[in-house]
């Protein structure tokens, strides 16, 4: 007797994903793709999820408490194509019995690379130089043109020494920086690799010639880098953010960049992106990237496969490896 095929779960995929990831999703699931590639949220997301058992979403989608409460009862799991989960109200998901998974590890190196790119770009005034060439304004080498600052010999303060923070530290050591960090828990010595632990992040600010942020966006960390904390940094410090835009108070950073109190900033993420604070665009000392932290072919494929691994485990009745709630 011929065996009946296992009924496939219906999976709402909210964004266009790399081709190999979409192909695997279509093979394993009755996959409902979003050809418009627009971020989803609210009533639109709820309507598209009708009859689905799973949702594969991404960082721009918005699954707030109201949206989660309104999701069809059929939906049992949300797998996000991101390590960050700030776009999902985790408490609401838990209360509704929704499983949520994310994609840690696979984007650590790519994101750490972008942090170093931002550090170097900000310290060496790379985007100013590039704009000068594109504007046809470069009249030739001069001894005093676009002088930046070395990373070597500088003190790097890392706030949040998880996977990405540690990967940034490893890279920064190769540039001759000394590493300071603050974290909820001190790392064991083999992971610390000589980095100086600061139980109080406020105390670390004073020794951070370069400050790099690597902690999640939560209601508690909103606008963590505010005017008071900026004031504790050494004059002429550099600020790098590859975490989430909401952890920086834009008005305070913009004022400090304008006055020169902060020499430069390298920013890959913005509050309310893509509608970033317009004043950033007018600041020569702001090196700006459009949320490219994990944007390599290898990483985005790995993120997609990881999200599908979690969904596959869940629908096979196993514990998803990257379950958040």
Handedness of CA 89, 63, 46, 300 (dihedral sign): negative
Candidate list 198, 244, 249, 300, residue with the active-site label? 244
Q: Looking at beta carbons only, is 82 or 285 nearer to ligand DGY?
A: 82
Q: Residue 266 interacts with ligand DGY (CB under 6 A)?
A: no
| Cα 184 from Cα 217, distance rounded (Å) | 15
The torsion region of residue 228 among left (phi > 0), alpha (psi -120 to 50) and beta comes to alpha
Instruction: Tell me: does residue 14 bind ligand DGY (CB under 6 A).
Output: no
Applying CB under 6 A, does 84 fall inside the site for ligand DGY?
yes
Tokens at 155, concatenated: 């003190």
As a whole number of Å, the CA-based R_g of the chain is 22
Give whichever of 165 and 234 is closer to ligand DGY, judged by the CB atom: 165
Stretch touching ligand DGY by CB under 6 A, among 79-87, 93-101, 151-159, 219-227: 79-87
**Using rule CB under 6 A, residue 156 touches ligand DGY:** no
Residue selected from 201, 293, 304, 320 as contacting ligand DGY according to rule CB under 6 A: 293
- Burial string for 10-48 (b: 16+ CB within 10 Å, else e) reads bbbbbbebbeebbebbeeebebbbbeeeebbbeeebbeb
Does 201 engage in binding with ligand DGY (CB under 6 A)? Answer: no
Instruction: Judge if the upstream peptide bond of residue 274 is cis by omega within 30 degrees of 0.
Output: yes
Count the neighbouring beta carbons within 10 Å of the beta carbon of residue 228: 11
- Select from 31, 107, 238, 313 the one that contacts ligand DGY (CB under 6 A): 107
Q: Which residue of 11, 52, 59, 265 would you call a contact of ligand DGY, by CB under 6 A? A: 59
Binding mask 294-313 for ligand DGY (x = CB under 6 A): x-------------------
Buried/exposed 109-122: b ≥16 CB within 10 Å, e otherwise? bbbbbbbbbbbbbb
Per CB under 6 A, which region of 81-89, 134-142, 160-168, 307-315 contacts ligand DGY? 81-89
Report d(CA 297, CA 21) in Å as an integer: 11
d(Cα 207, Cα 171) in Å, to the nearest integer?
A: 19
* Residue 256 found at the interface with ligand DGY (CB under 6 A): no
Find out whether 13 and 25 touch, Cβ atoms under 8 Å.
yes
The answer to whether residue 298 is catalytic is no
Largest CA distance in the chain: 83
Stretch that binds ligand DGY, among 12-20, 82-90, 183-191, 276-284 (CB under 6 A): 82-90
Closer Cβ to ligand DGY, 83 or 263, answer by number: 83
Nearer to ligand DGY, 67 or 294 (CB): 294
What's the min distance (Å) between Cβ of 159 and ligand DGY? 17
Catalytic entry in 96, 173, 273, 277: 273
Count of residues interacting with ligand DGY (CB under 6 A)? 7
Nearer to ligand DGY, 49 or 114 (CB): 114
> Cβ of residue 290: shortest distance to ligand DGY, in angstroms?
12
* In contact, 214 and 168? CB cutoff 8 Å: yes
Active site residue 319: no
Is 131 known to be catalytic?
no
What's the token pair of residue 211?
Answer: 């400050």
Contacting residues toward ligand DGY, per CB under 6 A: 59, 82-84, 107, 293-294
Catalytic annotation, residues: 244, 273, 291
């Amino acid at each position: 007797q011929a065996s009946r095929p296992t009924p496939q779960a219906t999976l709402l995929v909210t964004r266009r994903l790399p081709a190999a990831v979409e192909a695997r999703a279509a093979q394993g699931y009755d996959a409902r793709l979003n050809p418009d590639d627009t971020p989803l949220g609210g009533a639109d997301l709820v309507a598209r999820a009708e009859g689905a058992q799973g949702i594969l979403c991404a960082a721009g989608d918005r699954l707030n408490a109201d949206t989660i409460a309104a999701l069809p009862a059929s939906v049992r799991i949300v797998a996000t194509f991101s390590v960050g989960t700030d776009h999902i109200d985790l408490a609401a998901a838990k209360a509704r019995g929704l499983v949520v998974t994310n994609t840690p590890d696979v984007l650590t190196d790519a994101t750490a690379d972008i942090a170093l790119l931002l550090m170097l770009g900000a310290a060496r005034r790379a985007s100013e130089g590039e704009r000068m060439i594109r504007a046809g304004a470069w009249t030739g080498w001069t001894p005093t043109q676009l002088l930046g600052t070395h990373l070597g010999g500088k003190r790097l303060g890392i706030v949040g020494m998880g996977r990405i923070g540690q990967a940034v530290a490893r890279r920064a050591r190769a540039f001759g920086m000394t590493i300071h960090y603050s974290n909820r828990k001190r790392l064991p010595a083999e992971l610390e690799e000589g980095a100086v632990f600061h139980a109080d992040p406020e105390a670390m600010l004073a020794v951070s010639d370069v400050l790099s942020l690597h902690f999640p966006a939560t209601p508690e960390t909103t606008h963590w880098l505010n005017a008071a904390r900026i004031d504790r940094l050494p004059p002429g410090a550099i600020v790098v953010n590859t975490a989430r835009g909401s952890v920086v108070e834009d008005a305070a950073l913009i004022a400090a960049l304008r006055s020169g109190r902060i020499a430069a900033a390298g920013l890959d993420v913005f509050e309310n992106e893509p509608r970033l604070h317009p004043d950033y665009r007018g600041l020569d000392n702001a090196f700006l990237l459009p949320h490219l932290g994990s944007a390599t072919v290898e990483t985005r494929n790995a993120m997609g496969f990881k999200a599908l691994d979690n969904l596959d485990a869940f629908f096979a009745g196993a514990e998803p490896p990257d379950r958040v709630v």
